[in-house]
Structure 1
Amino acid sequence: MSKTALAVDISQRTVRVAESSIWTGVLLSTGLLLAATYGLVPAVAGALLQELVDLATILNALRALGEDRSNSAAAITISAAPVPRRVQNADRGRGQG
């Protein structure tokens, strides 16, 4: 896999994780807001629960750092492999003319 393809793959995965984290936070906050609106959650408890929602969202977003790091390193190592000798020999004839 080329470095460009690897970068695109990493960025797409990061966007998926970010979108997932955003929607998780929005849905949890909305549920908490509705519960507080109807008096099911006191103000102090609501504030503490909102902090827990923020923490859960941040921890969920940290998934972007973890899972495929070993595969990414392997892909970079593979793409940095030496050029086959026949390709090197093909380049020798160029520029001599």
Structure 2
Amino acid sequence: MYDLTGFQRDLLYVAAGLDEPHGLAIKDELENYYETEIHHGRLYPNLDTVVDKGLLEKGQKDRRTNVYSVTRRGRREIEDRRKWESQYVEDIFG
């Protein structure tokens, strides 16, 4: 996970939290969070990078819609990241 950009990490986290994560659903969630438009030219190459790193798998729902799922490695990386973060902010949030 250390070699992901913050945006790529956010893509992974959002995909992990959605029931049926597809590109536009992930895009909508991130646009709400970032409060700015995310262009397809930024979204899909970064999703492909996360897939190439083995953290997400990409499948097809239909001819136009890709669906993403978090791999076992992706879940492990999220868990490790959360443990790492908690050592620094645990006292703040109790």
Normalising by structure 1, report the TM-score: 0.29
Normalising by structure 2, report the TM-score: 0.29
Rg bigger for which structure?
1
Q: Which has the higher strand share?
A: 2
Q: Which has the higher helix share?
A: 1
Higher-RCO chain (CA-CA 8 Å, sequence separation at least 6): 1
